[in-house]
Structure 1
């Protein structure tokens, strides 16, 4: 083992116990076996172990007296397992293994990013989960995700499904089809499933090999009770996330580990790692608290079963994961197959090249790291101008740009095919008299800015929702609790915008309901012959992000400002209630621009639990509207929509410009889609809600949102402060043949009375 001289200097006065002396004989240390270690005598500071080989003149021979007490057998196994990967660790890392230091070296972050590459989001037939590659061809997840090969048919493994550095946009990710016909096996008792994955993405643009795999190390004791656990996961089917620190090992069982960690539905199948990113467990479930044969609920009561209970009602004491050592034993018992034979050789170490070892080998051989993350760069010294001659060449993963060193000391390295996105680093030692960075420069270097889309602040020209849009009168819902609504200076509470109107609940600072008109005809969508571009609609640059703005016509404290969403620790997403796509139409481009800008008023925004809006809530609404339009051969629709505001909605403590604020977050949303055929109205009522299950298997695999068709009477019972017009009840299609056909050809479910 080789360590830098500064680490050795720090240990000069400590007890002369060599770390190398305590490593198991199977360990490889800096390319030399332990048989090459020379033992000294038995007295004084001169009796230290030495390693026969050193890497270079800039490194020193290991004499690392890190502890006055030799490690126990479990720690020896831990150290040896880590060294086998080829990585070198120093004082801080060793002390962390012993539980005496919670610091991590900066390279821990690099390893974390590399360890995340083989982890993917699973897009299932009925939900989302997490999986991890354990060989070049095989993916590992839970049995309760895939009971059998049929469950895996048509499902996708989505790699690099993560947010960019701004936290607002997704990086480019790729879909790979699971191939259970090529290989599939599952084990109910140990709750694991292994399935083959197609080697090319669905668009043939990416190879599966670029993401690598994690070796399953069969050696036990890869984790000590003093160490933290890291779980890389796709909670709730959202972008890739890390559960870092405060994840303690609680108990070791024969086949499972119990630990404390932050996980959520969708985390089923996530790999759990030790601090050296060796996989130690396959995460699969929560552990409910029990007293005897009774389950304990959070209110202190005890019940015989938790079937049908909400997750929030149950007292959970831990999470549970299948031990990798037990998984390896089970894999060795599987029926012979060429892909399983390959997997066993990887487990045994006969085949090398898992994602961690491969990254180290590439780093050592070419100084660039994994070929997929190789940075093409050269150094240029120049002055930033609005245009730079070394223009970026667009590629699938962004630009292929040289490293540029400029007088303002900005260093830019953009990877040609990065697994975790381009990086932009600002150095603080800006020389005096250096130029500032212009907006053009910011766009060139990918710097994101929050900018308000262009919008018309002369509100006198807004007509709002048109009741006669369908040539049959569709009146607005009737407000019954006018004390709840926010009013404009003219004492009106129906706030008009371009093609839609909003009524605000001033207590909740959210829309009570919205009403909009949709025209899908080409002549209204493309009045100039072409679909307007984003820049034409918003006036924003390619790296600008839309900043929402409050409506000056009602009090500011009746709205949630944009800052609430930006300072909420990313707990929520901004969700359009009136979809931009619905109202971006008109007889001319200026009308379309005005409609687009109006949708970014905070009156049209509702906080939605993070990951759910990003997981195409807006897209689901769009599909529902399309289903109804196709069903009724309609180009025009009228739409009512809003959040379901309940008294028991969870309270979130957030921040605004005026200080702290408590906001109740809606958990479900509703929409009425109304069409007209031969002068007859047809109304379809939908409720979209999170479909939670309470089974211990990570509270089961849950769909992102479950759309339900409900009757207008059922919907009205959920609404607070207003009623639906009689014309809507008379047009309800809940029991119609049209609704039955809609249910037959779509994933919509029917909510029985």
Structure 2
């Protein structure tokens, strides 16, 4: 379905490869008929022993098929073909203006990872509006199945290569209809060469012309193998771009990308009737094709490896491809892939005795003259507090405390004391996240919320904030409780609150280098529903209190948002902003009161006499910590 400049360029290059090999073959002897005979052997010999490592030991006819002496396959071949078809999808390409641009084919190759052609999805902007459609096919009774549509997530992974004509893009873990992507399995890619030889037959599962899923079996001879490309005689049509090319073991040996048009001596494209093809006048379906071409899987791995050191997205794509093994031994089709394996995350459980050391938030931390109790929830929120197994309401950890929301399974707020003079820089190890055994699991949003998406476990109490005193290391470990995290887009989470805490600890206005910090999400009734189970907060707040050089209590409040990301499941780089806001605004948004003196907030002092509404509308964009009004 694509007739763009990229597609035409790929066809031109494919023709050049084909005809250069033809000329070399002619120079060696009489001209050979392309469709039935091998043009020439591989320049690098492929010992049959290398091919045998990909075969099952109990397949007695495999060697004969490779040598062209038998077409017999075990009946399980057909069953495996059905499984191999599950991860193959139709790609509906939609341009950034929202207009359909065409169709292609793609297939799942790793956890939430799709492979197709560059000329199908050549920019992240194009992928952002496009989607993958699975089960666009007929059932055994000839009836249309109900297809499932999955959004693409190029902000998570988008890796493309125009020369090799491939694109890897992340896919949403759940369809718009609520189907899990893992239901479709994936095709395991093998890095090693030798998966197919000249003279063998390949099969292609495709969506020709953007239509129902189809498969071309047999009469699909591999007629030539180049360093990076395969040439084969297989029935494909426009729309098949991005299809997997399978050998007899249903291993993917290549990524189909282009037909090879027949040309005359002058290089002009010919039609089926032998006349010149006139672009823009003649029907493209009348072009005479001599072969098809696909890029070899082993070369895709090489291209990724060469870029992985300097491109984090490429490194992550490679990690996902290799997460289920890429060696010759193993299943060709993985029917139930594991969730995306995390490099630095494991689940664990701390003994109940661990929490006996937990002192929690100290309301007199800033001095007895500046008693600052835990925030107070509005009356209508009191019933939503999750009670601990002992009937209490406050989870205490080393130097911080948390109150949980029973409906959201996230914290209403966290409260931490930070002693800047005693802070220790505890090195971060291999993260291990914990459920809190003191609270029923049904009140804690666990790993399921964060699997297979760009949402991070965003610390509410920063890892280093409670790392002071004799148990500094254990205090840092306490921050890795699911009670202390909230779903935040990875790029939001990786951008701190412009290091607000560090700045206030070090400023000359802070008399004792001590602060008390309250943090939490803004809960709204219209927050986005995710996976039919979770409501994702769009905004987060922070309030920092300290004693200034005049001996008075001072407090500042901050807001930041991920609203635009949640609404469109896209990433807008400029939307992750930090704002200094009046504490009264945070109280209004959250229903949480901090019981601070009226003159503690510099934003309120600056707007004194302007009325409450004017004060609450007075927010300040923070570009750097130096912009903070203290």
TM-score by length of 1: 0.36
